[in-house]
Chain A
Amino acid sequence: MATSLFWLFSALAIFAAVMVVTSRLAIYSILWLVVLFFTISGHYILMNAQFLAIVNIIVYAGAIMVLFLFVVMLMNVNDPNDNKKSIGLAIFGGLATILFLLSILNIVFNAQHTTKEINDLATTSTGDIGLVQNLGMELFKNYVLPFEICGVLFLSAIIGAVTLGKR
């Protein structure tokens, strides 16, 4: 069952990702992106990373995408014929996408090479590092310094946002 769920989530994720790019209405793109986040959370759950899965939904689907919706709704960008994009942007955008794709493919092929003996597409329902207790222990024992530095980084971002907002 885990394998079939893996394929279901993967297919859905790719379909949603394609819909994000090809949708003509900005609102549709946002909603498909939310679907994409849900499928990725499904993958996390298959890998027993429940905390990551739920936080992914709370933060990305529940908070960040709502802000995206806010912006799109308030700016009222719902004209599908508004396609005045410059050619230069298209060329460089395409170039960047191809480079990114190549680097990702590189990772994929290398990974297959190193894990040949396991002979498995994805390890599902194994390991318990994603459970809250274990993740918390890891973060506060082995990785406490990077974790705290991240906290300071977030704090500075918040202060920056407040100062910019007050201007």
Chain B
Amino acid sequence: MIAPTLIDWFFIIQKLILIVIIVLITLGLALYTTFAERKIAAILQDRIGPNRAGLFGLLQPLADGIKMISKEEIIPDHANKKLFVFGPALAMIAALMTSAVIPWSSDIIIGGKHIVLQIADVNIGILYVFAVVSIGVYGIMIGGWASNNKFSLLSALRAASQAISYELAMGMSLISVLLLAGTLRLSELVHQQQQTHWNIVYQPLGFLIFFICAMAECNRAPFDLAEAENELNFGYHQEYSSMKLGFYLFAEYINLIMSSAIIATIYFGGYDTPFLSPTAFSINTMALIGVITLLVKIFIFVFIFMWIRWTLPRFRYDQLMRLGWKTLLPLSLLNMIVTALFILLSH
């Protein structure tokens, strides 16, 4: 048991600063992901996209934010007021919580002290991510129910059943990686990939399943059944206005970035720069290169997510369920068995 005087204040302050920095960077990235989404959509549809606010429209996200905040806040008469406010907050919290276990880069040294660029290097890193993903459903369900609108409720139920269905295949594809790595610690996973090959070499099918499931968990097209405008008017956030709507929309982009970061960490070596030895430069320089590498990998996946969204049409609900339960789940089970057999025979 730790006596109050023995608490390592340096450790706590260091982690607090790290949390603030990571949350701020994530929010900033999410802000510009919305801009990227609009620009990429425009390019793919042969349009120009937002170009009025600032140079090349670069101030557009700020303009959007100001618009969101200054809109009138409306809480419907028949809504459950407490839960109506609680829903978007929960969505936002769950979206940001994932960032706690992602290893952003190798250690840095400031004033002779090692600082780990990861908020919490827990023993159960991957399971933690999984738990946060499964909690993320609550924000949508509570918001959809509290709105007291039939469309919102239907949309919330769709979103939740979709999330639950795809969580299974996601977990199964992860098990294959865990079998190979023998650890649940994300930093350890990155170290292993630095020393040998990236996990994508061993787990191409697992990666594909994980990627599709991540897309479904983020509620993005072609899996955006919960926001099917032509069936449900708008979605679970139909009754929301002002910044509460902003929170829901923003949480989706944070989820997008976090999914990309998790995919990069698990299958593409995290902050490992290809063709560069981890000891090529001084420790602090390597850490900086690591952060940039991870960010580049995240951007690539965010782009692929958007590319898919603006290319493929939406699934029908029965197609969605069939894909999840009858294609992805058996495939991930097969992948797991083959991986297990491979490990058994190679030992």
Interface positions of A (Cβ within 8 A of B) = 1-3, 25, 27, 31, 34, 50-51, 54-55, 57-58, 61-63, 66, 69-70, 73-74, 124-125, 131-132
Contacts and interface: CB of A to CB of B under 8 A. Distances in A.
B186 to A, nearest CB: 14
**Which among B1, B142, B145 has the greatest number of chain A C-beta atoms within 10 A?**
B1
A157 to B, nearest CB: 16
A50 B131 contact: no
21 contacts: A1-B2, A1-B7, A3-B1, A25-B80, A54-B128, A55-B127, A57-B134, A57-B135, A62-B133, A62-B137, A63-B164, A63-B167, A66-B138, A66-B160, A69-B141, A69-B145, A70-B161, A73-B141, A73-B156, A124-B1, A132-B184
B108 interface: no
Interface in B124-150: 124, 127-128, 130-131, 133-135, 137-138, 141-142, 145
A61 B145 CA distance: 18
B145 A62 contact: no
Nearest to A25: B80
Contacts of B138: 34, 66, 69
Contacts of A27: 80, 83, 145
Contact of B135 (A25, A62, A69): A62
Residue from A51, A55, A124, A132 with most neighbouring chain B CB atoms (10 Å) = A132
A27 B79 CA distance: 14
A3 B160 CA distance: 37
Given A1-B7, A69-B141, A58 B131 contact: yes
Given A1-B7, A2-B1, A57-B134, A66 B164 contact: yes
A50 B1 CA distance: 17
Interface string B102-135: 0000000000000000000011100110110111
Q: Is the interface of B mostly helix, strand, loop or mixed?
A: helix
A27 B147 CA distance: 13
Contacts of A57: 131, 134-135
A125 B1 contact: yes
B123 A62 contact: no
Contacts of A61: 131, 134-135
A13 B134 CA distance: 21
A131 B160 CA distance: 31
A55 B122 CA distance: 14
Contacts of B83: 27, 31
Nearest to B134: A62
B145 to A, nearest CB: 5
B131 A51 contact: no
B4 interface: yes
A79 to B, nearest CB: 13
B157 A73 contact: yes
Contacts of A51: 124, 127
Nearest to A65: B138
A88 to B, nearest CB: 33
Contacts of A131: 123
A58 B167 CA distance: 10
Interface string B144-179: 010000000100110011001001000000000000
A58 B4 contact: no
Contacts of A124: 1
Contact of B160 (A34, A70, A132): A70
Given A58-B131, A62-B135, A73-B157, A132 B141 contact: no
Given A2-B1, A50-B123, 8 more contacts: A3-B1, A31-B83, A51-B124, A51-B127, A57-B134, A69-B145, A70-B160, A73-B157
A34 B145 CA distance: 17
A57 B133 CA distance: 11
A70 B153 CA distance: 10
A50 B124 contact: yes
A92 to B, nearest CB: 32
Nearest to B2: A1
Contacts of B122: 50
